Structure 1
Amino acid sequence: MMPRRFVTLDVFTTTRHAGNPLAVVLDSEGLDAAAMQAIAREFNLSETVFVSAPAAPAHRAALRIFTPSRELPFAGHPTVGTAVLLALRDAAEGRAEDVILLEEPVGLVPCAVSVAGPQVGHAIFTLPRLPQELEPPAALPLIAGVLGLDRREIGFDRHVPSVVSAGVAFTFVPVSSLEALERVHLETTLWSQAIRPADQPNAYAYCRQTRDAGHDFHARMFAPAMGVREDPATGSAVAAFADVIMRFEKPGDGEHRFTIEQGYEMGRPSQITLELTVSAGALVSARIGGSAVMISEGVLL
């Protein structure tokens, strides 16, 4: 195999060794899906991105995203991290742009980018697909059981479990307290029955209490079927979470901004921003934002 450059970053943080680690392979031309999957398994991070030339000259790059076990059509922390990395590289070459367009299997993703230093930047992208509810969730005792919780600890205010996707699907599980959310332990024997949909059995558990003042929700994401027992920060889940907020929080018309904290139980605190535009009571657009910091550079031999 020809040598291929890669960079690793920590995403949804400005602090090294926090946030969600990401590997970005910059020279992916000529790699087929099997080779990309093997490289993603080797990195063994929640996601690895492969960058290639875009189909349209006006676009910045084309991305393919792999977990250790499968390809994804879209993911948040790979989009933010890669957008920041490309912005840093462009700035170093004197051709910085405020907005770049990334081609992903889910569709074209516009990213507003800014550089905060030679190795740190920020990106916010507009969702290529608004979230939608899929199917009814599994029974409450089953969901509670696979998270090691009592059924009475599921739900708060108007929030009840739901199954939503904005490109990647999740069962969203509201948990009554931060204390309960912190002691979640997975019982995976019945995972495929409890967490839907069947082809993407990912669970996103959240509560209103937070570790840090000024944040709006605390969350944890579990995807053992994708080879990710727990994820430090999950932008694709926050993208779908926009529908959860619309349904249960019922924000009024106008602009709204939420900060979701995640990864604290893993020692990798992360902060993800979610911006909503609501008109006539409906969600018309949503944006996911966060920072990223470079960690390492190297070559795959």
Structure 2
Amino acid sequence: MRPFEFKQIDVFSSIALKGNPVAVVLNADSLSDAQMADFARWTNLSETTFVLKPQSPEADYRLRIFTTLNELPFAGHPTLGSCHAWLEAGGVPRGEEIVQECAAGLIRIRRQGEQLAFTAPPLVRSGGVEHELLQRICRGLGIEPQTVVQARWVDNGPGWVALLLRDREQVLALKPDYAQLSGLAIGVVAPWSTERDGDEAQFEVRAFIAGEGMPEDPVTGSLNAGLAQWLIGEGLAPSCYVASQGTAMGRAGRVSIEQVGADIWVGGLAVTCISGQLQL
């Protein structure tokens, strides 16, 4: 039985255990789909990834991303954590940028000092949220519909629906009824007040994925990518800002957003917490 190189990376934090962990299996080409799915269920993390040889000649590596329930075409913190693990294991990109192949297509990743950042993938669904769906989401979050400033689809693969609230306190006070939110992926965002909250970040974000092993995601790259496309696109956020996420869970996630031309880059730090071998 040949062992596989395994790493567990904490993403979107400079401090170990304060970000969002992802399990990464390197050189995983010989694993079957069933083995990948079984291992992802066993780790019980929000995502587990498998790094494979690329099929596209433009890519540096191919990534498959599994939750405890299914496979995702794209996810943000697994993208950055897997890239961190691949580089740490000796991966050398073909060009200045790293190119990740996944089911959502080719994702560009760049090094920004100590951070890694990926380009936000295109939204597969955008626009306003249906009235009945918004009513259901509000019931599930325990809030009145009039407290929602705006609501939009910001789906880049996982199915995100996003709500903009007035202030950070409302976001942190949410106590979801996950039975009401079953089958939905909900993002909630609100601006920080410089006077009350400080200037370390400009927005507070929470992500709820009812039905998953961890129904609240600590720090979420795909959601923040979709939020940035919405908020910057409608003039609700500056072209460069920092989002805080995980506060309600005792984490200290920080997601850096920067628009450069037509691209929105989603970045953060990553820390290796576990290195070892996996035998399946």
Note whether the superposition's TM-score is higher than 0.5. Answer: yes
Moved more, 240-249 or 226-235: 240-249
1:189 aligns with 2:167: no
Q: SS at the partner of 2:41?
A: helix
1:106 aligns with 2:104: yes
- Match of residue 224, structure 1, among 210, 232, 252: 210
Aligned-residue sequence identity (percent) comes to 30
- For residues 58 and 96 of structure 1, what CA distance do their matches in structure 2 show? 8
Q: SS at the partner of 1:36?
A: helix
- Match of residue 141, structure 2, among 143, 147, 172: 147
- For residues 6 and 60 of structure 1, what CA distance do their matches in structure 2 show? 19
Shift of 1:15: 0.8
- Match of residue 272, structure 2, among 294, 298, 301: 294
Q: SS at the partner of 1:191?
A: coil
5+ residue gaps, structure 2, are none
Rate the CA distance shift 1:70–1:17 in 2: closer, same or farther, 3 A: same
Moved more, 212-221 or 99-108: 212-221
Q: Which amino acid aligns with 1:79?
A: T
Conserved? CA contact 1:87–1:96, under 8 Å: no
Q: Equivalent residue for 2:162? A: 172
Q: Equivalent residue for 1:195? A: none
- For residues 287 and 226 of structure 1, what CA distance do their matches in structure 2 show? 27
Shift of 1:131: 6.2
CA RMSD of aligned residues (A): 2.5
Q: Equivalent residue for 2:221? A: 235
Rate the CA distance shift 1:212–1:65 in 2: closer, same or farther, 3 A: farther
Shift of 1:174: 1.5
Shift of 1:22: 0.9
Shift of 1:122: 2.1
- For residues 190 and 128 of structure 1, what CA distance do their matches in structure 2 show? 29
- For residues 134 and 105 of structure 1, what CA distance do their matches in structure 2 show? 23
Q: SS at the partner of 2:223?
A: helix
Q: Which amino acid aligns with 1:109?
A: I
- For residues 7 and 204 of structure 1, what CA distance do their matches in structure 2 show? 28
Rate the CA distance shift 1:56–1:188 in 2: closer, same or farther, 3 A: closer
Q: Equivalent residue for 1:281? A: none
**Deviations for 1:142-186, whole angstroms, at most 9, x for unmatched residues?**
32210122333322xxxx111121233211011222222112111
**Deviations for 1:9-67, whole angstroms, at most 9, x for unmatched residues?**
10011111111011100131122222111101111111111001111455321100011
**Deviations for 1:257-287, whole angstroms, at most 9, x for unmatched residues?**
1211100111111011122246xxxxx3211
Please give the TM-score of this superposition, normalised by the length of structure 2: 0.88
Q: Equivalent residue for 1:63? A: 63
- For residues 240 and 85 of structure 1, what CA distance do their matches in structure 2 show? 24
Please give the TM-score of this superposition, normalised by the length of structure 1: 0.83
- For residues 48 and 232 of structure 2, what CA distance do their matches in structure 1 show? 31
1:29 aligns with 2:29: yes
Conserved? CA contact 1:64–1:105, under 8 Å: yes
Q: Equivalent residue for 1:124? A: 117
- For residues 161 and 123 of structure 2, what CA distance do their matches in structure 1 show? 17
Conserved? CA contact 1:137–1:163, under 8 Å: no
5+ residue gaps, structure 1, are 193-199, 279-283
Rate the CA distance shift 1:162–1:57 in 2: closer, same or farther, 3 A: closer
- For residues 73 and 96 of structure 1, what CA distance do their matches in structure 2 show? 23
Q: Equivalent residue for 2:257? A: 274
- For residues 151 and 56 of structure 1, what CA distance do their matches in structure 2 show? 46
Q: SS at the partner of 1:273?
A: strand
Q: SS at the partner of 1:225?
A: coil
- For residues 262 and 34 of structure 1, what CA distance do their matches in structure 2 show? 32
